[in-house]
Structure 1
Amino acid sequence: MAKITKWEPEDPQFWAQTASPIAWRTCGITTFSLIFSFATWFVMSAVVVRLPNIGFKFTTGELFWLAAIPGLASGILRLIHAFFIPVLGTRPVISIATIIKLIPMIWLGYAVQDTNTTWGTFMVIGFLSGMGGGDFSSYMPSTSIFFPKRLQGVSMGIQAGIGNFGVSVVQFVTPWIIGGAMLGAVVGGPQLFTKATPFNKGDVTLTKVAADPTAVGVDCKKKDAPCVVTDIVISNPDLAAAIVLVREGDVLKDVVIQDTDKVKAIQSGTTKDASGVITEIKPTKGIAVAITRNPAGAISNVVISNVVKKPMWVQNAAFWYVPCLILAFILSVIFLRSIQKPGKGFKGQFEILSTKNRALTHQWNCVITYITSFGSFAGYAAAFPLMIKVIYGGFDGAPEPLAYAFYGPLIGGLSRAVTGPIFDKWGGSKGMFWTFLGLIIGCLVLIFGGFLTPTGVDKFQGFFYVMLWIFLMTGIANAATFRQYPIVFGYSPSKGAQILGWTGAWAAFGPFVFASLIGMSIERTGSAITFFIGASIFYAYAFFLNWYYYTRKGAERFDYGNSGGTWWDKAKDSWTGGE
């Protein structure tokens, strides 16, 4: 199908008679495709919280890296995608980018069924899943080219906002779709899901002493202290009747479960075929005792837990995207069109990094503010499920991560979609001014409110609502950027489109940077406080750039909206800088 050679969306007559139907059709189809791009990008963040429960022995750090790695790939791929649309056109780029995502989804679906799959293999799959985030830098420039400036905030806000729902889709649908064999035996059998919830300290109390009786100053309350268990006091009478302490003299040698009418030891509930493959899993409940011994064989720790075992089809989390991607591919091939834009090829696209018309300065500012908006949204979306699991998962009555995590991206995406028209009227820089302040406040509340270092699950509600506030701020800020960036480069529509892809490329590293740094902060310091201190400082820097260059009175490239005017409205009649 030939490219469209004449495209003048700023001409009211051409827009009404020719351009509008094509532009909105393109926006609708690419938005549908974008939903599943975001979903496949974030599918690893939903799957990773289930891996320990189905038999994979990965550390906390490794789990955060699995959630982070799609962000590394998406950032790299967005740097490439940022130049595709002006050169190759919408139809081939979107079509190929859609169908190629079948590779990681099918691979992931089979990988989770084999507990021998290595962490390195999952890292490769996660990297390939990043293709779903990489092509975002082709969607936004495409929409920018199809629409007039007055509707770019609306159109791109709708597309990106609804597209962002893909993150909520993956985190909302995953717990539901992996609960049954909905896709049939053709995609594999169930995995054994095991969840152990330790009894709280009030029910089970351990008495510990130094393993070496001659040692001085050993604090047995500290984790990994060289101590041994000498006694266990159980205040729960039903549990106490079922726990038997085996001793040799004064030495505790074992802890075993003796079934009673009210307390039973957990049973496997699995049926396997001759080759050892699980064919059936019956849900079971009971208690289990986990004993840790030191090198000398003495008991150093005992954990008594309520255990639930049930079947789970984790592969469904990946396989259900296959028909959706195929449908999006077919729609893209049949209905999308490409616009023939005069340009200078791939080499010419790098002029946005030149000093001409101060492009280099403003692309830096846009990169920083876009990392603050979309980079934060994507980063927190990737890390949120694991943050809930790691920070609050060890308490009695711990929240189910995926039952809460989808609300954050949902609120961010919805706010992104509905606030675009507001910033077309008021200006994008004003929106970023207030939302960046909101992000700083949210981080400070997390730090000083004790929500990152809880002593019980009672802090979770506050943590959850502050995170929702942060997601809200990122979504609104993101809508503001779609209005502002084409205005910053108002002298060149092609560069206005390119800056959306370029900034999106750097912001796509958000899941990688945020998830890996949050995980590193927790592993090295015991909490995520260090990360959020750094985030607050970064947000303050972005706030200053936005205020100085775009918001304050007399700013170099101000944007006060359709009602207040822009720097380009003032400068275009006398502009001599070219594109």
Structure 2
Amino acid sequence: MTVTDTGASAPPETAAAPAPRPHWIDDWRPEEPEFWENGGRQVARRNLVWSIFAEHLGFSVWLIWSVSSAFLLQMGFTFTPQQLFLLVALPNLVGSLLRLPYTFAVPRFGGRNWTMISAALLLVPTLLFAVAVQNPDTPYWAFCLIAATAGFGGGNFASSMANINFFYPAAQKGAALGLNAAGGNLGVSIIQLLLPVMVGGAGIFGLVKASEGGIHLQTAGYVYAGLAVLAFIAAYLWMDNLTGATSKPREQLQVVRKPHTWIMAFLYIGTFGSFIGYSAAMPLLIKLNFWVPEPAPLGTGIYFAYYAFLGAGVGSVMRPLGGWLADKYGGAKITLIAFGGLVVFTLAVLVTLMQLEPNPAADPAIASDNQSLFPWFLGFFLLIFACTGVGNGSAYKMIPAIWRRDAEAATEAGTPARTAAIMAATKQASAALGVIGAAGALGGFLIPIAFSSPWVDDPLSATKGAFVVFTAYYVVCALVTYAVYLRRSAVVGV
């Protein structure tokens, strides 16, 4: 294997050969079995491991407001439910908008180099967060700006997935991209599990006790700032850039002319948009419908901090399964099954919500009555998260498969034209991953906004109405998946 990174040997230099650049690999041919087995697999795996770590951290910072917003009132801030949902939604909006430039950054700067830059950028939202939450006089508009900077972490996903797409052969992209995404998605669950413990807001089911010194949200900001520095160092030492993973933004933007880019973006809003949107909103949904703060310290009903992490955890674990199933049975089939599950279980959550009583903030009796319905709410919601995870993995498998199929259809096997077409298709697929990922992440903004629905007086009514809309969207997504990718006259092989 001919490489010029620090982790693999390079052939002897000739007089005409340029000096090797550290951490740049000039010869990368993962589709050739001999190349892959003689060192390629190890290099790809090493980059995947540290990509997962950096992306995991990015997701944690991206969703830091999802659980911390639920603690702001206990720290003396007087924000309405609508204001809290907006704080949860803003990072998702910015993160979705950043995904496109983050995708283009990989060919421009190199996957390793951009991982270092994107990790360093996480110091902005973490340190600003730590400073703002210590001052009860911090105005709401400042919180909105700081929450928006957390979107830097959301952009990490696009660049990480685009980078890993170059490292793996087509037959293993589903599993590799699924693992990479799952590691990142787990950052949502981990921040929701550990932040309450770090800041002294809650323990973990009695196994770990909460701090008795009050809530200190700034601790989470400082911890994740330190981890951002660690991700920067890890990328510097152990990741690589691929010389062949280069293209001009104009070439990458050609994917916006392809109808499949927008079809898959529409579907990905239903899978990933649901995952990130529900993950962001779940702590507040539990708090507003099943808990009141009296009597102190843990109030009455279901304490949100104990359960908020479960949904994101289930969705993250199921994502590589979706990629594996897509490799085995086809991405379109698994995606259709995922949307079918989303329709059924979203309706089940809606039926459960229909039995709840509106939960005034000062009425422990209603919170106690609603508590009996929480196991059904949680169980159905976790099944929704499982379906989003499977759908995320299978949909992402479909994207490179669509572009590769088109390249193969236009060329003859075993020819230089086929090799060049597949390389070009890989670059186009990586650009498409960014565009589609950006569109999908918009769901993370729209879902919390739908739950807040400032035009609806009763928060519970707003939540019910939102789930009706979501169910209808999943039905349309299922029909589109079948019509475009599964029926006889549809696209095949994805």
Q: TM-score, normalised by structure 2?
A: 0.83
SS at match of 2:275: helix
Moved more, 510-519 or 163-172: 510-519
C-alpha separation in 2, matches of 1:164 and 1:382: 12
Runs of 4 or more, structure 1, over 4 Å off, are none
Q: Is 1:473 aligned to 2:382, yes or no?
A: no
User: What corresponds to 2:105 in structure 1?
Assistant: 84
User: What corresponds to 1:21 in structure 2?
Assistant: 42
Q: Is the 8 A contact 1:442 1:470 kept in 2?
A: yes
Q: Is the 8 A contact 2:322 2:391 kept in 1?
A: no
User: What corresponds to 2:26 in structure 1?
Assistant: 5
Tell me the alpha carbon deviations over residues 50-75 of structure 1, each in whole angstroms, 9 at most, x when there is no partner. Answer: 00111001111000000111001101
User: What corresponds to 2:279 in structure 1?
Assistant: 381
Q: Is 1:162 aligned to 2:180, yes or no?
A: no
1:545 aligns with one of 456, 461, 480? 480
Aligned-residue offset at 1:398:
1.5
SS at match of 2:27: coil
C-alpha separation in 2, matches of 1:326 and 1:156: 25
Q: Is the 8 A contact 2:96 2:442 kept in 1?
A: yes
User: What corresponds to 2:150 in structure 1?
Assistant: 129
Aligned-residue offset at 1:511:
2.2
Q: CA RMSD in A?
A: 2.0
C-alpha separation in 2, matches of 1:329 and 1:452: 49
C-alpha separation in 2, matches of 1:449 and 1:467: 10
Aligned-residue offset at 1:484:
1.1
Aligned-residue offset at 1:2:
5.8
Tell me the alpha carbon deviations over residues 477-503 of structure 1, each in whole angstroms, 9 at most, x when there is no partner. Answer: 111112211111112111122211211
1:239-254 map, 5 Å: none
User: What corresponds to 1:305 in structure 2?
Assistant: none
Moved more, 417-426 or 87-96: 417-426
Q: Is the 8 A contact 1:94 1:332 kept in 2?
A: yes
Whichever residue aligns with residue 536 of structure 1, its letter is T
Tell me the alpha carbon deviations over residues 356-377 of structure 1, each in whole angstroms, 9 at most, x when there is no partner. Answer: xxx2x10111101111111110
Whichever residue aligns with residue 380 of structure 1, its letter is Y
C-alpha separation in 2, matches of 1:339 and 1:370: 28
Aligned-residue offset at 1:522:
8.5
C-alpha separation in 2, matches of 1:344 and 1:137: 16
User: What corresponds to 1:174 in structure 2?
Assistant: 195
C-alpha separation in 1, matches of 2:244 and 2:268: 26
User: What corresponds to 1:337 in structure 2?
Assistant: 240
User: What corresponds to 1:512 in structure 2?
Assistant: 445
Whichever residue aligns with residue 17 of structure 1, its letter is N
Q: Is the 8 A contact 1:440 1:540 kept in 2?
A: yes
C-alpha separation in 2, matches of 1:511 and 1:555: 30
In proportion to residue count, which structure has more strand? 1
Whichever residue aligns with residue 176 of structure 2, its letter is S
User: What corresponds to 2:325 in structure 1?
Assistant: 422
Aligned-residue offset at 1:119:
0.8
User: What corresponds to 1:223 in structure 2?
Assistant: none
In proportion to residue count, which structure has more helix? 2
Q: Is the 8 A contact 2:339 2:478 kept in 1?
A: yes
The alpha-carbon distance between structure 1 residues 401 and 409, as it changes in their structure 2 partners (threshold 3 A), is same
SS at match of 1:179: coil
C-alpha separation in 1, matches of 2:285 and 2:247: 46
1:48-447 map, 5 Å: 48-179=69-200, 311-341=214-244, 344-354=247-257, 359=258, 361-394=259-292, 397-447=300-350
Whichever residue aligns with residue 39 of structure 2, its letter is T
C-alpha separation in 1, matches of 2:118 and 2:318: 27
Whichever residue aligns with residue 491 of structure 2, its letter is E
Whichever residue aligns with residue 384 of structure 2, its letter is I
Aligned-residue offset at 1:394:
3.9
Tell me the alpha carbon deviations over residues 97-128 of structure 1, each in whole angstroms, 9 at most, x when there is no partner. Answer: 01110111011112111100111111111100
Aligned-residue offset at 1:526:
3.8
SS at match of 2:193: helix
Q: Is the 8 A contact 1:446 1:452 kept in 2?
A: no
Aligned-residue offset at 1:338:
1.0
In the comparison of the two structures, how many residue pairs are matched? 429
Whichever residue aligns with residue 468 of structure 1, its letter is L
Whichever residue aligns with residue 87 of structure 2, its letter is L
Aligned-residue offset at 1:451:
5.1
SS at match of 2:214: strand
Tell me the alpha carbon deviations over residues 536-577 of structure 1, each in whole angstroms, 9 at most, x when there is no partner. Answer: 111111111111111223422442xxxxxxxxxxxxxxxxxx
User: What corresponds to 2:413 in structure 1?
Assistant: none
Whichever residue aligns with residue 67 of structure 1, its letter is V
C-alpha separation in 1, matches of 2:455 and 2:348: 18
Structure 1 unaligned regions, length at least 5 = 181-192, 194-280, 284-309, 560-579
Aligned-residue offset at 1:335:
1.6
Bigger radius of gyration among the two: 1
